[in-house]
Each structure stands twice: as C-alpha cells, then as structure tokens.
Chain A
Amino acid sequence: MLTEDAVRAAMAELETDIEVAEVGAEEDLFDAGFDSLDLADLLLSLQESHGLEVPDEDLELCRSIRAIVAYAGRAEAS
C-alpha cells in the first residue's frame, strides 16, 4: 500500500531543490516547485517501487501527495 511517507521519500530521492517536508499533503506539486519532468520522474519511481501505473490522461489526478496516495488506493481497490 502506498503511503504519504513513501511518496515523500520518493520525492526526496529526486534531488530537486524542494524541501519535501515543507510540501503540504494537499498542496499542488507544481505550486511547490515541481515541473512536468519532476512529476514524470516521481511517478516512474513509484511505478518501479510500488507498481503504480498512471496513464497520461490521469496525470491531472496526481497533482498532490494525498491525491497520488488516493489514486493508488482506488487503483488497488479496482
């Protein structure tokens, strides 16, 4: 099961300038300093570590830490 801590850990491994601990769980990742490549990299990391598959058309549903966890939960339940 994907947790918010796991998403934050994956964000930290991206080596961006973003202070991951300061990003709110519901904060839009792009407002926090992410760009499209950072998001692609984060989702690839979560795909490899947790099997999370996010098709391009669902990217808008994964714009915050909590939204990613919720998306993973729905995918797991379906």
Chain B
Amino acid sequence: MIGIGEIRSEIPERRLDNRERMEALGVDATLLESKMGVERVARLPAGADTSDLAIAAVERLFATGSVRPEEVESLFLVTQNPDGHGLPHTSAILHERLSLPPSCVCLDLSLGCSGFVVGASVLRGFMESHGQTRGLLVTSDPYSKVLDESDRNTALIFGDAAAATLLSDRPRWWVRATDFGSDGSRRDALEVRKDGRLFMNGRAVFNFSATVVPRSIESALERAGLGVDDVDRFLLHQGSRYIVERIAQRVGAGDRAAFAAGDYGNTVSSSVPILLERETKDSDRVVVVSGFGVGLSWGTAVLERADAD
C-alpha cells in the first residue's frame, strides 16, 4: 500500500507587499486583512519558470535523504502553467534536469487548486497498480505568469510556490477515505481568457467553496467512519482567509482550521502540501485535506498517521 511521505516546498523569497499597492487597487486595510488575509504574495524570481520552481522543491526533498533521484519510479507534475507552450510536458524537463532514471514515468496533470489531493490519489493508484514504491508528486503552478497585477480580484491573492511530495510504501500518512467531484457548468468562474490573463468571479468561487466543500468534507469523513470531533486538523486550500473561515465555521472545525498563507498567498495546488509540511504537529493522528477551485473541482481526503509510535 502507498501513502504520503516527506514533503518539501519552495516559496520564492521575492515578495510583493500588498499594503503598498492596495490603495491603487481600491482595497482598504479591513478587506485586505480580514477577508483576503494576504499581506504579501510570493513571486517567481526574474527569469525563472515553472520547472525552476519545481526543481528547487524536489532538490529540497532529495536533500532530506528520504529518496534518491535514481530511485524515483514515477513523477507526476500538477500544473496549468507549464514551461513554454506545454509541449513537451514540463515533467519531461524535470526528468532531465533532476537526472531521473529512464524507467521513470513522467506526466503532467492539468488541475488547479484540487490538484494535490486528486493527484496524490492518481499517483497512488498508478503506483499500486504497477508495484512501484517510490513516486514524486510535484505541484508547481506560478499564476504570476497569467496574472494581471492591476486586477484586485486576483493580484492580491495568488502567490507562486512549488511542493514536492514523496509517495511510498513507508509513508507518514495513509489515505483513509476520499471525496472528489467536478462542476464543469461553473468552470468560467476561474479561467484564463483570450487576453491570456486570469479572470476570477470571486462571488461564484465563494458560493462554490462555501457550499460544496463542507459537504465534501462530511462525505469523506462518513466514508472513513469518523466524525468532525475525530479530526486533529483541517488543512483547507488557502483560497483566502474568508473562505477558510467560512468553511471551518460550516464544518464545525473551530480553531482546527487555520489560514496560514498571509506571507505568500494562495499557491494553487501547492497550498495543501505546504500546510501538510509546515502546519501539522507530531501529535496529529487524523487530518482532513481539501483542495478546491479551477474546474470547478474539488478533492478531499482523510489522512491517518502511518508512522505513529
């Protein structure tokens, strides 16, 4: 059986300070702090691309000693902003630059904020089907490549980052239950339009998140045979402070769900693995992870500690 192991993330040092530009974008301090919750957004260094961010995260993972390049049997990259025009797939670039073996399967998965949770299940299923024991799930989706920095709905929210997650037969977390879904009829709420820039209908995304995600969490917990009180931590996609707080309120998560992205922003498919890496404690036994957004789509998983005691 395959589960989720070591995670390392790369959040670029370069930041844009939202306080310095909120006035120009027509946003007051209350809206920025209490609703958006993002004080600074991370941005790719000049000249860097999606693969550079991804490689930095994977190299951090290799530095832990939990896996060596020659041991990697699969690498799945979640991105919707690949290098160049997307052909070849960016995971092929990672294959070469990370010196992965010829036997390693590399592919890109096109998903946004649900990408880590869905991608982890896709990779897990692939590995279990083929007897693999070492796979990498990499998320790298720098939205700054498609942002209009004068659009208050997106520029003050989204940040660039990448994460590399080891899936293995000796994991930290088992996936106990999941819930996935899509609502393609609402896909235009979050899309790159003809001008090449990201558009977001904040109200539509909020309505979707506040209604669908609590139900998804309840479904996943029911499948796991657990209740809300059994969960040590809810790691919710960091869409905005307001969305996280509303979902937490509706689920009854209380202070077990936090908004922690104030210093770097909504990093799309990397937000959940960053939380798993940085916001869990050794005492956590059951955590719920949920990603939701582009598509509109969602993925929720109930994770159970595998390396306890």
Residues of A within 8 A of B (CB): 35-37, 40-41, 44, 48, 56, 59
Contact = CB atoms under 8 A, between A and B. Distances in A.
Given A35-B35, A36-B202, A56-B203, 5 more contacts: A35-B31, A37-B206, A40-B202, A44-B207, A44-B210
Contacts of B201: 56
Contacts of B64: none
B145 interface: no
Interface of B: 30-31, 35, 201-204, 206-207, 210-211, 242, 246
Given A56-B201, A56-B203, A37 B210 contact: no
Contacts of B204: 56
A35 B32 CA distance: 11
Nearest to B243: A37
A56 B201 CA distance: 9
Contacts of B211: 44, 48
Contact of A41 (B30, B31, B246): B246
Nearest to B205: A40
Nearest to A56: B203
27 contacts: A35-B30, A35-B31, A35-B35, A36-B202, A36-B203, A37-B31, A37-B35, A37-B202, A37-B206, A37-B242, A40-B202, A40-B203, A40-B206, A40-B207, A41-B206, A41-B210, A41-B242, A41-B246, A44-B206, A44-B207, A44-B210, A44-B211, A48-B211, A56-B201, A56-B203, A56-B204, A59-B203
A3 to B, nearest CB: 23
Nearest to B31: A35
Closest 3 CB pairs of A and B: A40-B203, A37-B35, A40-B206
A34 to B, nearest CB: 11
Nearest to B210: A44
A44 B242 CA distance: 14
A40 B211 CA distance: 13
A37 B27 CA distance: 12
A46 B5 CA distance: 43
Query: Which of A36, A37, A48, A56 has the most chain B CB atoms inside 10 A of its CB?
Result: A37
A37 B201 CA distance: 11
Contacts of A37: 31, 35, 202, 206, 242
A19 to B, nearest CB: 16
